[in-house]
């Protein structure tokens, strides 16, 4: 009987995918198809949850089939991330002209990312104390205790590394290994390697212009091919979101969420507060926040459902370039830096909230200024090189908690609501990177306001 139900669930998913395909053939806009996929996924997921329950065998096996579409799409995006980063950054740097300066662009983007991370940590501290969150109030079962043990084991990877040693991890001693994503800092290492290539081409222009021209032609050809691959993959976004959100909603254990509803609520209050901060910053730099939101919502929707800042890089770059009017170089650097540096959600809000919750268990007053200032500084410093994939927030928390001399095992108490909170954190991370790109493009006078203000621009018209 279970097999029949599984087949029925898969057939319904195929019918929903067929509806999205029909909408595409009818030239319904990309944005509308994305939100249709999101809405259908939520409705289908709720129905499955009601009929079968989150942890049933039918739901588990059905989710595996849904994963062919959802996680298959995420894997395709991850497939193009490294090639996209490399050719985009090399191309952007070697085409720098006039007053454009790689150092100024990078410094501006990183400054915005770190400043907003400090604000995110402050918002998290205020929210945690307002909600009076305490780790001692959370009950732990076998699953939570096992997660705590795992976190203590992971702590050994980072506990004995000084800040200089952690910075050294960003330097690509073996760029080919980093292209495989072998290390947590691989993405940032590829950025650095690509930047060296771009700078080398600029130097070659003066000494050996013929060889430089030949290399430029090769890069431009590869860039065109990679962007075409990105275009083909991005067309699958509505289907990926449909499958991902269906699985998430259908397999979420509502009872466990209700037990930690106070923490979930506090987390989303902090996340929403930081979204508002981003919009205020955008407004201060002369951009319409409503217009901005309308244009970035599809990208944030995918980040929310995929829980991967790195997988969102291709969509992030295209949105900045085609819808926000950000120049190629700034769009690529901000999307890439934002996936590895200063993540407001995973490296800002989450570690700070855990630290405030856990501090009372070891006799520390989380309201003391010495604790707050130290925590904010450590959060900002540790936000370098946090992996933009699932588990990045956990790694950031390990660094912050161990540096603050707080027990890391208590972080395992939140394992049951991690996926739910991680969705919001990831969307915030991606929004921060787009905010950094938009603000930097304004500061460096590389923003096309006509593109930003053009209401007719949709990713469909950007070759999606």
The answer, yes or no, to whether residue 250 has pLDDT greater than 70, is yes
Dist. CA 399–CA 162, nearest whole Å = 10
Higher-pLDDT residue of 338 and 157 is: 338
Q: What is the DSSP letter of 349?
A: I
Per-residue pLDDT, 464:
46
Mean pLDDT, range 89-102, rounded to an integer: 72
Residues 440, 105 contacting (CB under 8 angstroms): yes
Pair of tokens at residue 77: 């995006």
Per-residue pLDDT, 231:
86
Please tell me the least confidently modeled range out of 22-26, 171-175, 214-218, 383-387.
Answer: 383-387
462 pLDDT band, cuts 50/70/90, is very low
The answer, yes or no, to whether residue 460 has pLDDT greater than 70, is no
Dist. CA 188–CA 190, nearest whole Å = 5
Angle at 309 between CA 353 and CA 296, to 5 degrees: 100
User: Long-range CB contacts (< 8 A, 24+ apart) of 66-71?
Assistant: 66/10, 66/13, 66/243, 66/246, 66/247, 67/243, 67/247, 68/243, 69/13, 69/17, 69/239, 69/240, 69/242, 69/243, 70/240, 70/242, 70/243, 70/244, 70/246, 70/247, 70/305, 71/244
The answer, yes or no, to whether residue 230 has pLDDT greater than 70, is yes
The answer, yes or no, to whether residue 208 has pLDDT greater than 80, is yes
Per-residue pLDDT, 246:
93
Per-residue pLDDT, 174:
87
Residue 382 contacts by C-beta under 8 Å, 6 or more apart in sequence? Answer: 347, 351, 396, 399, 400, 403
Dist. CA 167–CA 183, nearest whole Å = 13
pTM: 0.84
135 pLDDT band, cuts 50/70/90, is confident
Pair of tokens at residue 290: 């409503």
CATH class of the 2-453 domain in this structure: mainly alpha
Mean pLDDT, rounded, of the chain: 85
159 pLDDT band, cuts 50/70/90, is low
The answer, yes or no, to whether residue 123 has pLDDT greater than 60, is yes
Per-residue pLDDT, 321:
92
Q: How many CA atoms lie within 13 A of 49 on its CB side?
A: 18
Residues 333, 447 contacting (CB under 8 angstroms): no
Give the residue extent of every domain in the chain.
2-453
């Amino acid at each position: 009987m279970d097999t029949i139900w599984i087949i029925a669930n898969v057939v319904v998913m195929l019918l929903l995918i067929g509806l999205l395909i029909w909408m595409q053939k009818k030239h319904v806009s990309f944005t509308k198809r994305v939100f249709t996929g999101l809405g259908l996924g939520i409705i289908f997921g709720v129905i499955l949850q009601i009929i079968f329950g989150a942890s049933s065998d039918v739901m588990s096996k059905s989710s595996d089939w849904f994963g062919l579409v959802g996680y298959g799409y995420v894997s395709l995006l991850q497939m193009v991330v490294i090639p996209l980063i490399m050719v985009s950054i090399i191309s952007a740097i070697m085409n720098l002209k006039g007053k454009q300066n790689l150092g100024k662009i990078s410094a501006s983007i990183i400054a915005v990312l770190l400043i907003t991370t400090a604000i995110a940590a402050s918002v998290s501290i205020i929210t945690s104390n307002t909600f009076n969150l305490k780790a001692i109030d959370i009950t732990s079962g076998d699953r939570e205790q096992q997660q705590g043990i795992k976190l203590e084991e992971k702590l050994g990877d980072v506990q004995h590394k000084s800040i200089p040693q952690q910075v050294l991890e960003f330097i690509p001693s073996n760029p080919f290994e980093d292209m495989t994503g072998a290390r947590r800092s691989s993405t940032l290492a590829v950025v650095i390697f690509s930047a060296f290539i771009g700078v080398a081409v600029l130097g070659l222009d003066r000494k050996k212009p013929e060889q430089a021209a030949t290399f430029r032609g090769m890069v431009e050809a590869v860039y065109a091919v990679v962007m075409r691959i990105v275009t083909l993959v991005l067309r699958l976004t509505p289907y990926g979101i449909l499958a991902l959100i269906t699985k998430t909603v259908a397999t979420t254990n509502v009872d466990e969420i209700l037990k930690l509803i106070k923490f979930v609520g506090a987390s989303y209050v902090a996340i929403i507060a930081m979204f508002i901060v981003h919009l205020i910053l955008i407004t201060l730099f002369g951009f319409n926040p409503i217009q901005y939101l309308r244009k970035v919502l599809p990208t944030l929707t995918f980040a929310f459902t995929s829980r991967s800042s790195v997988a969102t890089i291709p969509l992030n770059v295209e949105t900045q370039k085609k819808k926000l009017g950000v120049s190629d170089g700034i769009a690529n650097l901000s999307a890439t830096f934002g996936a590895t540096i200063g993540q407001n959600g995973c490296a800002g809000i989450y570690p700070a909230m855990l630290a405030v919750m856990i501090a009372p268990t070891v006799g520390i007053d989380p309201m003391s200024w010495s604790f707050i200032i130290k925590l904010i500084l450590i959060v900002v410093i540790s936000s370098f090189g946090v992996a933009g994939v699932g588990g990045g927030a956990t790694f950031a928390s390990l660094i912050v908690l161990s540096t603050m001399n707080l027990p890391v095992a208590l972080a395992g108490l939140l394992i049951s609501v991690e996926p739910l909170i991680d969705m919001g954190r990831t969307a915030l991370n991606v929004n921060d990177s787009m905010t950094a790109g938009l603000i930097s493009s304004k500061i460096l006078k590389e923003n096309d306001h006509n593109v930003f203000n053009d209401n007719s621009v949709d990713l469909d018209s950007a070759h999606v």
